[in-house]
Homo-oligomer: A and B are copies of this chain.
């Protein structure tokens, strides 16, 4: 499991780079640093609160090791004694409802029986969907994917549609993105390819979001748009607490609660049987929260 140390070192460097780039784009907020050490491992949680554009954002790095429990065996369908995992995960919540929420995660998981895999994803949750922007976001992801394998974008975009989905609401979380899990090195995709793919994604993340910040942060917004933002944040909370695998794994494996739940927004709200105004921006957004949209095609029409 020696190479995990190198991967962890690279991810840790990228965490710094992401923070620098986002601080430059925000121009006011700074990412604080909290190191944590628990039995399971250690991490560095970097949180920005009340930036100029980012209301609450976190870039977490962690590196954990431990016994491969019976529960993990059952969930993952693998037999081993020990595991080790390292990754970066990030969620950014902006003040302005015209700036989308974004999420990124890359991770590497290794067992002492020699089996290992990569996982990760990036997805965008606009409070108010701008289809041209969604197309640009997907094109950026596709460009990153295409450097490694032409099947990555179509396959992982479909996976994201299925993963970033709230069955109890019959809604996607936003305009999707890409998601992949348990990518094991094989003849088609070498270990290096998969590792470099996660590096490419993590490095592209602050560039993508800086562009979205720049284009939207100075747009004026109404009280109605702010209320709608809080309702969409309520859905984000539902996804993270009910479905998100990272959150579940973290809380169940006795991870660092503050670092895991820093993904939740500063404020969120819920309304019983909310009905959007006909033809309003809320209804237009709701109509687009569904699987299977080819955003690149749709947004460029």
A positions within 8 Å CB-CB of B: 34, 47, 49, 56, 58, 168-169, 230, 234, 237-238, 241-242, 251, 257-258, 260-262, 264-273
Residues on B with beta carbons closer than 8 Å to the beta carbon of A230: 267
Contact partner of A258 among B234, B260, B272, CB < 8 A? B272
Q: With the chains together, A47 CA to B274 CA distance in Å?
A: 13
Looking at the assembled complex, report how far the CB atom of A224 sits from the nearest CB atom of chain B, in whole angstroms: 16
Residues on B with beta carbons closer than 8 Å to the beta carbon of A271: 266
Q: With the chains together, A253 CA to B264 CA distance in Å?
A: 26
Looking at the assembled complex, report how far the CB atom of A100 sits from the nearest CB atom of chain B, in whole angstroms: 19
Q: With the chains together, A241 CA to B289 CA distance in Å?
A: 22
Contact partner of A242 among B56, B241, B258, B267, CB < 8 A? B241
In the complex with contacts A241-B238, A242-B241, A242-B251, A268-B266 CB distance below 8 A: no
Residues on B with beta carbons closer than 8 Å to the beta carbon of A242: 241-242, 251
Interface of chain A, helix or strand or loop or mixed?
mixed
In the complex with contacts A234-B264, A238-B241, A241-B238, A169-B257 CB distance below 8 A: yes
Q: With the chains together, A56 CA to B271 CA distance in Å?
A: 9
Contact partner of A34 among B168, B241, B273, CB < 8 A? B273
Q: Is the CB of B168 within 8 A of A257?
A: yes
Q: Is the CB of A267 within 8 A of B266?
A: no
8 A-B pairs with least C-beta separation: A241-B241, A264-B270, A168-B257, A267-B269, A168-B251, A262-B272, A47-B272, A258-B273
Contact partner of A241 among B56, B237, B260, B273, CB < 8 A? B237
30 sample A-B contacts, Cβ–Cβ < 8 Å, listed by A number: A34-B273, A47-B272, A49-B272, A56-B272, A58-B272, A168-B251, A168-B260, A168-B261, A169-B257, A230-B267, A234-B264, A237-B237, A237-B241, A237-B268, A238-B261, A241-B241, A241-B242, A242-B242, A242-B251, A258-B272, A258-B273, A261-B270, A264-B270, A266-B269, A266-B270, A266-B271, A267-B268, A267-B269, A268-B268, A268-B269
